[in-house]
Amino acid sequence: GIQVEQSPPDLILQEGANSTLRCNFSDSVNNLQWFHQNPWGQLINLFYIPSGTKQNGRLSATTVATERYSLLYISSSQTTDSGVYFCAVHRGGTSYGKLTFGQGTILTVHP
Amino acid sequence: DAGVIQSPRHEVTEMGQEVTLRCKPISGHNSLFWYRQTMMRGLELLIYFNNNVPIDDSGMPEDRFSAKMPNASFSTLKIQPSEPRDSAVYFCASSRLGNEQFFGPGTRLTVL
């Protein structure tokens, strides 16, 4: 099956810093999603981005499908950004949106 | 929309007992997914349905696990008998036509 690798596995920042999280995948994908799992365990949708660039406030994401990677940018980080960030991909075809998840990046933002 | 609804939010049971987890997908979504999250294995897909029909149950760990979707607005995941290694957070998610998936709050299962 498709492999999804995220880096770095852990990231510690001071409030106000910027960061870039990376997601590499081993095969062509139809769709890609970024999630934030907050300290209460909720999985929150950040971006649905099979290709191109999207921005939402301090967060933005870019997917280069031909090179099989996606990047999540967090600017001016806040303590509420802490949690685990997951990348998940869907191969398309007849898999009806079945997602394969990476192992996540654990982000800790200190005040 | 209320989003994906799961119940119960927490379940503590003893080994050997039957456990039933419930999910109500977002109205209008035709695909439903059950995932399990553990520290060791991360987030893994157990089974998914399209138009109430099970499509792929290859992720179901063993015969003790079963899932049903009797109608478009309800699904269950049952574990019988439960074992301590089944302790995990179980998520339900739904999507429309295989597009963006939305997750429920999860059920935290503890089997003693």
Decide if A100 and B103 are in contact by the 8 Å CB cutoff.
Answer: no
Nearest CB to B101; choose among A95, A97, A103: A97
pLDDT, mean over chain A: 94
Helix, strand, or coil here: B4?
coil
Nearest CB to B31; choose among A48, A97, A100: A97
Q: Exposed e or buried b for every residue in B37-69, given b needs 16+ CB within 10 A?
A: beeeebbebbbbbbeeebbbeebbeeeebebeb
pLDDT of A16 strictly over 70: yes
Q: Express each pLDDT in B5-38 by its tens digit.
A: 999 999 999 999 999 999 999 999 999 999 999 9
Are the C-beta atoms of B31 and B98 separated by less than 8 Å? yes
pLDDT value for A102: 95
pLDDT value for B1: 64
pLDDT of B49 strictly over 90: yes
Decide if B106 and A97 are in contact by the 8 Å CB cutoff.
Answer: no
